Amino acid sequence: MTFQIFLYQQKYFNQLCQVMDKGRMQELKNENLEAVFVSLRNAPYLDYFLSCRIYIAVERQKLVGFVGAKPHHLEFLYVDPDKQGQGIGTALMKRVLLDLNRPVQLDVFTHNLKAKRLYQKFGFQVIDSVTEKGSDAYPVDFSQDKMKLN
């Protein structure tokens, strides 16, 4: 299957939301945090998200993945769970890294091993781990790793 990668266009907003929501739920389930899921359309960080430089992967007019970044930080990378393992995440990483100033940092759930393997393939290394204790907003403990690429 072939896909194209190009800068985000607003006409793909609905599809981007679908991919983000499916991917985010997959990520949160892995951390036992489904209770904190918020659809991208309703997320308090939507404006910040849209202020990122976003590249999308499109296959036959369907958005199958995307990556969003700021100059020194990879902010979001999601691939439709039905399309994972087909090279889409790798292609998105290759594209976005062309734009990013070094060093580049990102945050990832500690137990998101699939994502961490992808980042490590590009040379990212874990530089810090933080465990957040449960609160009203986040009812269970979870751990995040900060990763860095020099």
Q: Please name the residue ranges forming H helices in the chain.
A: 13-30, 46-51, 88-97, 113-121
* pLDDT at 139 exceeding the cut of 70: no
DSSP class of 99: T
Interval 3-36: pLDDT, tens: 999 999 999 999 999 999 999 999 999 888 888 8
CATH of 3-149, one of 1.20.120.790, 3.40.630.30, 3.40.50.300, 3.40.50.11690: 3.40.630.30
Q: What is the pTM of this model?
A: 0.92
Q: Who contacts 83 (Cβ-Cβ below 8 Å, separation ≥6)? A: 59, 64, 65
Asked which of 73-82, 112-121, 135-144 is least confident by mean pLDDT, the reply is 135-144
Interval 117-130: pLDDT, tens: 999 999 999 999 99
